[in-house]
Structure 1
Amino acid sequence: MFSAAMAQGVLEGLDVDGSGRRPVIHIRLAEPVNYVRHSPAESGDTLRIRVNRTSPAAAQGVVPQPGTLRWPATAEVPLTEVGYETKPGGDFLTLRFNRVVNFQVRPGKDAQGIDVEIAGSGDGDRVGTGDRSLPVPPASGACASGLRVKSPPADLKEAARQCMIKEDWPAAIGLYTKLVQQPDASYQREAQEMLGLARERNGQAFRAKTEYEKYLQRYPEGEAAERVKKRLDALNSADQQPKEKLTPLSSSPVAERGWETYGSFGQYYFRDALLTDNQGEYVDQSLFLTVLDVTSRLRTERFDIRTQFDARYRQNFLKVVYDENNQFRVANAFIDVVDKATGVSGRIGRQSRSSGGAMGRFDGGVLSYRFAPQWQATVIGGFPVLPYRSTAPNTNTSFEGASLEFGPFADYWAGNVFFINQTVDGLLGRRAVGGEGRYQHPVHPLFTLFDYDVHFNALNTAQVVANWNFDNGAILTLTADYRKTPYLSTSNALIGWGSGYGPGTGYGADSVGDILRYQDTIDLKTLAEDNTPTFKYLSISGMTPITPDTQINADITVSNLSATKGSPWVSAYQGSGTQVSYFGQVITNRLITDNDVWNFGLRYMTQQIDDILSGFVDAHYPVTPDIRIDPRLRVDYFTGFDGPDVWRVRPGTRFNYRVVDGLYFELEGGFEYMTKPLVLNERDTKGYYVNVGYRWDF
């Protein structure tokens, strides 16, 4: 296993584990996520994984920063980069390879990871996806060359038998899957048995067991049933036998590795502007950003030590607004140590965590002890970091907590329970208990989360995410979410107290202590409750492949952000009302070239102010191995309830050029036109944006 440097934002980093029969890419994320779907189904040189963020920040509408992590490609793992981006269709991880590979995608061992298992590029080394059935690979081998599109079952059966004789396992899998789906039941029994055998000989042990189990459920009696049972028992016995650990691919023994250092340095210029007929150019953003990410790692037979430092400096060329002229921010600065001999691990410094009751970035430490293979105890403590305010520690607020991680039990059950306590300016800010439950079944996984504040006697959050994966590769997802946003805390009394807006004093409040100095009889707990809205969310989404290269996605979402009561000095929030969104999307690969990916989407949303109809198209189009162009177009139509209808058109493109290995030039730009003026005395709105920069990976 070897590691790469971390990226900013949700994408925290990755490892590649070559100790098994096939290498596995472990993608680490700074927030818990749920795997939703991916495209293409089984093979390609670009893999896009749709995930749902489940952290409090996601429910509060915080959009994560896009991140890209480069990887030195090898013969075994031809990965070149991993990216994370939020788009109109959701949050996506994008993996790019320098050649076509077969892959299997599955959730990681915890809620903050995604695993991708890599196989070779030949059909004989295919792997499944998520350990469940997927779209059937076309029966394109020589043994199936004489078949028509609608060949009779007898011809399919004979062709499948020839494919088994010639050991063309993928073609046999495709043909036997078609036979299983035939309405003529006389072909289904033998086809079900042979489908399991073909998958077993293709190296897909888990999926072979699934097919054998289906056979025994449908046909429990007979000589063939005994034969299938013996094969299933043999596969189960093989899983229980200890496997010899192999040397990691393309890496030297752990004791000889020494320190590894990875990182990136980049500089970018960002500019947004409005173009007016009467007032010329109105610049909304003009800044220069410098980013540095460095990670070092030392691994021995006993210890795994990792340090990480991520920082950025933003120079604003506009006038000072909200103290945002020049900012230096440290996102991560920690050391992480794992003692494999004792099961003790710890991390100290600036870091982020979104499980076990902790929320977001903080300065502090985490100490864990795995006292049994399926049990781990963790204690945590520190000072939350104020976003967009300062890079210095926020010592006015502190927290401490403990959690117990358990599982997996019975193969699939895992989760944790936690307790968290937070103090704000010497006052109790938050005291909560809760837990996470994960049923990590490959066919119907389930994730649950709840957080109850015993200080406020109120439910902070309750969340359920359930997936159902069908044999044809279709996926159905249900997400239900109830939460306070932000989480209930005494510090929520500060909401609405901007600088210069104290109650009758002419001064603002930056802490709850400031509020008490202005008015010492105020009930902070009631004020915090009155200032905290409740967010409710329900979504049903689905995807289904229609060809090996094309899939259709759709979802219906209902959400509501409640009103707040306000106070004599803080205005009440009227609430969002019930918002309903309908979304459809088509993702297709190889539309123009062998390596492109295209997304076509349509969304209709109803809300209090207006209805919005949006259409978009975006693409990942490799021109050469060193040049990639990502064009995009979005069109919005607003039907106003108290004004004229509005059109908005936003075309744009992204250009990425690999100058030499490790050095990349990036350019992104776009234009916006809207029929509604945002500036006085104008007929419409026109604007543009441009981002240009370079990144050096070392």
Structure 2
Amino acid sequence: MKPRWRTAAAVALSCALVVPAGLTLAQTVAQSPLADSLMRQSIQAIDAGDYRRATQLLTKLVGLPLNTQSARAQEILGNVREANGQLAHAKAEYEIYLQKFPDGEGAARVRARLDAILSGATPLPPSPPAATVAGTAPPRRAGSFRPTVAGPAEPAGPTVRDQGVFTLTYRFNQGATEITDLEPDPDETEEEDDVFNNALTAGLQFSRVIEGEGRRVRLSFAGLADVDFEDSDDSGLRLSEALISVEDRASGRVVTFGRQRLDPQGIAYRVDGVTLKLPMDSGMVLGLVLGTAVDSTRDDLFGDDRILAGASATWENALGDGAVTVYAAVQSDGSFTYRQALGAEYKLDTGSGSLYANAEYDLKFGAMNRVLLTGARVLDGGARVTGRLSYYRSPSLNLENALIGQGTDDIDDLLATFTRAEIEALALDRSAEVMTLGATYYGKINETWDLALDGTLYKSSGTPASGGVDAVDGGGLQVYLGARAIGSSVFIPDDQVSLGLRFSHSDDNNLYVLDSSMRAPVSEKLSLQPRLRVGYRDFTDGPGTETFLIPSVNARYRIDRSLSLQMDAGARWSREDTPTTITRENEFFLTAGVTKSF
């Protein structure tokens, strides 16, 4: 049976589509053939129950310059989001509608749906005005979702939306190690105490979106500031994102400047620079990037001397309903070229399944850098299976890899010892070939319990000895297996019980871990989650075993809808036995923090 809020949302969607908006058409608003076409396609998708496709089309429609479909599309987009269970997205779409079109007849319906979401209630949407129902629209068969085209209300001007999260987290981890030598001097014991972590981290994520007629501006920041009380050298700023993005809604052109993540990620995962997304009349989307690659969030903004230039071209619906992207990237610094990549991506999402493929070849090194294939499928009954097959270089092919083990961080320093060809050979030697195969399953056992299964095979080639750097053994085939049962309302209402078993195998050990936890709501604001992990490790490269026990408890207290406190505390006790030593380790860990959203 569908949840009541989904039933109400579906009825709201039906009513919003059947009832004409009845809004006054602003004289500056023009008829748009593209907008009309997108609206027709959206309604066809809704008729077919394809909310994912409808969401994509409506999102494109509301991004166009103001037209006769704008207000209608904004309302229906919120209805589709709500009917699909995406309440947070629906809330945002409704709020945008009320900011843009506060005086239209549709505003009453939108306010009713927004109030229902905020209050947690699921009332049926308000009935449309009689004058609208008695209009000239022809009668429709029951269940038809096709709307009558109507004009939008005149917008109230630019809208500004702010959203953010602030976190403050303290972490402490202290341990004691006791080593007893059994020979040649039995029972001789050494002890050592260490503080592994004693740091305070402040985090901020903030975004501001300014929407005006014909333009959308987004400012975004995400970063962490660490203060290490044990080692000041580990204190610093970790910057994930700091950007300004300007979108021209008429052309779809988007220019972004600053630290940002890229799409496609094959060019680079994160860059400091400027990017351009430019839709072409042919349906292709051209992408350009110029800047510097970011290897770590601890890197200074624009602190890398290596220049990255890349270009991509994307065709939606090129193969079925999927999107095809081809890209090229060059990274260089002076006379050195670090990377020359050609790649392609394919993305497909059908609602009941998804597929992603990526292949990249490096022209500089004359070798494949990466081949990835992942897929997911929703089975009858709601179970979900995923699979992943990959081949990749680790680290990725880059001339910078030649610095590994050389005692310098400047490629120019290597020219005193090696030729350019030898430096390129060193870089290739330091990059291992890795192959993985994995699969997961998640589905229901019964009304109370769900089952999660996962498995991964991992094989690394290792790296050869060269340039004074020792060889690294690949370690053979590694196996990772896991099974977990997750139950809800098992002992008390709204609790969540988890029972899991994990196994891993490598050349030097086999590891077994039993993991159990229970999240129990103590009150509407407080929840507790005790957890216990028990492990056993059998060393296969020599006699020896390890056992460990990790009890912990997590507490979360929600002060209000935007402010909460979290705490996680526990200990780890372990004992490792070999023919010559007994090693005992005792650790205590604490994580405590506050989260404020705004």
TM-score (norm 1): 0.62
Contact 1:45 1:99 in 2 (8 A): no
For residue 637 of structure 1, what is the amino acid of its counterpart?
Y
- Segment drifting more, 572-581 vs 439-448: 439-448
**1:161-186 C-alpha deviation (Å, 9 max, x unpaired):** xxxxxxxxxxxxxxxxxxxxxxxxxx
1:280, distance to aligned residue in structure 2 (A): 6.5
Match of 1:640 among 539, 554, 559: 539
| C-alpha deviation, 1:522, in angstroms | 6.3
- Residue 615 in structure 1 maps to residue 527 in structure 2: no
For the pair 1:469 / 2:526, whether they are aligned, the reply is no
The aligned amino acid for 2:388 is T
2:222 is aligned to 310
Residue in structure 2 matched with residue 91 of structure 1 by the alignment? none
Distance 1:440 1:388 in 2: 30
1:261 aligns with 2:165: no
Instruction: Show the counterpart of 2:589.
Output: 689
Q: Which residue of 2 aligns with 1:8?
A: none
C-alpha deviation, 1:568, in angstroms: 3.9
Question: Shift of the alpha carbon at 1:682?
Answer: 6.7
Query: Within 1, Cα distance between the matches of 2:429 and 2:82?
Result: 46
Indicate conservation of the 8 Å contact 1:356/1:417, yes or no.
no
SS in 2 for 1:396: coil
In structure 2, C-alpha distance between the alignment counterparts of 1:443 and 1:659, rounded to whole Å: 38
Corresponding letter in the other structure for 1:317? F
Alignment partner, residue 279 of structure 2: 370
Distance apart, 1:121 and its partner CA: 9.2
> By how many angstroms is 1:677 displaced?
8.2
SS in 1 for 2:280: strand
The answer to whether 1:455 aligns with 2:364 is yes
TM superposition shift of 1:480? 0.6
Q: Which residue of 2 aligns with 1:535?
A: 434
List structure 1 runs of 4+ shifted beyond 6 angstroms.
Answer: 42-46
User: Pick from 346, 350, 375: which aligns with 1:441?
Assistant: 350
**2:239 equivalent to 1:327:** no
Q: Does 2:526 match 1:627? A: yes
Q: What is the aligned counterpart of 2:398 among 472, 475, 489?
A: 489
**Which deviates the most, 335-344 or 442-451?**
442-451
Q: 1:586 aligned to 468, 473, 485, which one?
A: 485
Letter of the structure 2 residue corresponding to residue 297 of structure 1: V
AA in 2 matched with 1:656: R
- Deviation track 1:98-122 (CA, whole Å, cap 9, x = no partner) reads 969xxxxxxxxxxxxxxxxxxx599
**433 and 76 in structure 1: CA distance in 2 versus 1, 3 angstrom threshold:** farther
Does structure 2 conserve the Cα–Cα contact (< 8 Å) formed by 1:461 and 1:483? yes
| Aligned match of 1:393 | 302
Partner of residue 301 from structure 1, selected from 213, 220, 226? 213
1:308–1:334 contact (8 Å) kept in structure 2: yes
Q: How far apart are the structure 1 equivalents of 2:592 and 2:552?
A: 14
* Cα deviations by residue, 1:558-608 (Å, 9 ceiling, x for unpaired): 111211013242222111310122221212222234433333221221111
> Which structure has the larger Rg?
2
Give me the whole-angstrom Cα distance separating, in 2, the residues matched to 1:301 and 1:464. 41
- Native 8 Å contact 1:350 1:362 kept in 2: yes
Q: Structure 1 253/545 Cα, relative in aligned 2: closer, same or farther at 3 Å?
A: farther
How many pairs were matched up?
Answer: 475
Question: Do the aligned partners of 2:575 and 2:582 also contact (CA within 8 Å) in 1?
Answer: no
The amino acid of 1:485's aligned partner reads: S
Residue 655 (structure 1) shift: 1.5
Partner residue in 1 for 2:566? 666
Tell whether the 8 Å contact from 1:255 to 1:299 is kept in structure 2 after alignment.
Answer: no
- Structure 1: unaligned runs, 5 residues or longer: 1-14, 27-41, 47-72, 79-97, 101-119, 125-233, 498-507
Paired position in structure 2 for 1:526: 425
Written as runs of structure 1 = structure 2, the 5 A alignment for 1:163-562 is 255-256=156-157, 258-276=159-177, 279=191, 281-319=193-231, 323-324=233-234, 326-353=235-262, 355-372=264-281, 374-387=283-296, 389-409=298-318, 412-497=321-406, 508-520=407-419, 523-562=422-461
- Evaluate the alpha carbon distance shift between residue 257 and residue 647 of structure 1 in structure 2; reply closer, same or farther with a 3 A threshold: farther
CA deviation after TM superposition for structure 1 residue 242, in Å: 7.0
Contact kept? 1:255, 1:301, Cα under 8 Å: no
Q: State the superposition RMSD in angstroms.
A: 3.6
Q: Which moved more, 1:409-418 or 1:460-469?
A: 409-418
How far apart are 1:487 and its partner, in Å? 1.4
**Cα pair distance change 1:275/1:372, threshold 3 Å:** same
Secondary structure, in 3 states, of the residue corresponding to 1:528? helix
SS in 1 for 2:238: strand
Distance 1:582 1:473, change over 3 A: same
Q: Name the structure 2 match of 1:217.
A: none
Q: Distance in 1 between matches of 2:150 and 2:405?
A: 58
In the alignment, the residues of structure 2 paired with residue 281 and residue 673 of structure 1 have an alpha-carbon distance, to the nearest angstrom, of: 14
| Per-residue deviation, 1:427 | 1.0
Instruction: Supply the distance in 2 between the matched residues of 1:592 and 1:373 (Cα, whole angstroms).
Output: 59
Deviation at 1:437, TM superposition (A): 1.2
Amino acid at match of 2:412: G
**Secondary structure, counterpart of 2:429 in structure 1:** helix
Residue aligning to 2:131: none
The 1-side partners of 2:86 and 2:292 are apart by: 44
Distance 2:202 2:303 in 1: 24
Deviations 1:609-650 (A, max 9, x none): 101111212344332222232332222211112132111221
Q: Aligned to 1:471, what secondary structure does the other structure show?
A: coil
Q: 1:467 to 1:520 in 2, by over 3 A?
A: closer
Q: Residue type of the partner of 1:264?
A: V
Report the Cα offset of residue 526 of structure 1.
Answer: 0.6
Displacement of 1:302 in angstroms is: 1.8
Structure 1: which amino acid aligns with 2:486? I
CA–CA distance in structure 2, aligned partners of residues 412 and 327 of structure 1 = 45
**Closer/same/farther in 2, CA of residues 121 and 255 from structure 1, 3 Å limit:** closer
Asked if 2 retains the 8 angstrom alpha-carbon contact of 1:19 and 1:246, the reply is: no
Assess, with a 3 A threshold, how the Cα gap between structure 1 residues 266 and 439 changes in structure 2: closer, same or farther: closer
TM-score normalised by structure 2 residue count: 0.71
Aligned CA distance change for structure 1 residues 639 and 351 (closer, same or farther; 3 Å): same
Check conservation: 1:45, 1:595, Cα contact below 8 A.
no
The 3-state SS of whatever aligns with 2:544 is coil
- Which amino acid is the alignment partner of residue 313 of structure 1? A
